[in-house]
């Protein structure tokens, strides 16, 4: 057993929520097309959307709108592709800093000591891991559920 450090605590939160949350970062996401006029993205906080490329062609910015919570909505009478890996979305997303309620959860994980954190060494390599299931309590999950991506089909 070993203690939870800052990186491990943040990794547990990110794994539970399904996206990086913080800090804000520019990234190009490759996503499966929804086949409908609404395309969810694997983020819950978009700061800026630079471009959407659908099946190799940039989609005109007037053909869609985007929401801060990670939805692209088509308004040109078309639907998004249904192709696997059919969209490349260049955006800046995540919070500039960890939200305070998430910071409190991370702090609780840091204060939790060594419960349920496993460490193994094979040769010269040390691996430390913990799972969200083993460390997050009900109150932690209640906070993090506000930042958790919805289930996908």
Query: Tell me: the pLDDT tens digits for 28-87?
Result: 999 999 999 999 999 999 999 999 999 999 999 999 999 999 999 999 999 999 999 999
Report the residue count for the chain: 153
CA dihedral 31, 43, 9, 139 (to 10 degrees): -130
- The answer on 87 and 47 residing in a single domain is yes
Its domain, for residue 142, covers 6-20+98-147
Whether 47 and 75 share a structural domain: yes
CB 80 within 8 A of CB 74: yes
Q: Among 47, 69, 93, identify where a domain stops.
A: 93
Tokens of 152: 């996908």
Q: Which residues contact 101 (CB under 8 A, 6 or more apart)?
A: 143, 146
Residue bearing the bigger pLDDT, 134 or 41: 41
Determine the average pLDDT of the residues in 14-25: 96
Structural domain includes residue 135: yes
Would you say residue 88 lies in a domain?
yes
């Amino acid at each position: 057993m070993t203690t939870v450090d800052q990186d491990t605590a943040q990794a547990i939160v990110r794994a539970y929520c399904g996206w990086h949350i913080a800090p804000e970062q520019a990234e190009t996401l490759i996503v499966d097309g929804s086949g409908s006029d609404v395309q969810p993205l694997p983020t819950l906080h978009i700061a800026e959307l630079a471009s959407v490329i659908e099946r190799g062609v940039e989609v005109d910015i007037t053909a869609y709108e985007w929401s801060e919570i990670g939805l692209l909505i088509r308004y040109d009478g078309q639907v998004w592709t249904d192709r696997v890996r059919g969209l490349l979305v260049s955006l800046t997303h995540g919070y500039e800093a960890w939200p305070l309620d998430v910071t409190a959860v991370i702090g609780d994980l840091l204060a939790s000591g060594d419960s349920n954190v496993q460490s193994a060494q094979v040769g010269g390599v040390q691996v430390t891991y913990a799972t969200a299931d083993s460390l997050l309590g009900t109150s932690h999950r209640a906070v993090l559920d506000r930042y958790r991506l919805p289930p996908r089909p």
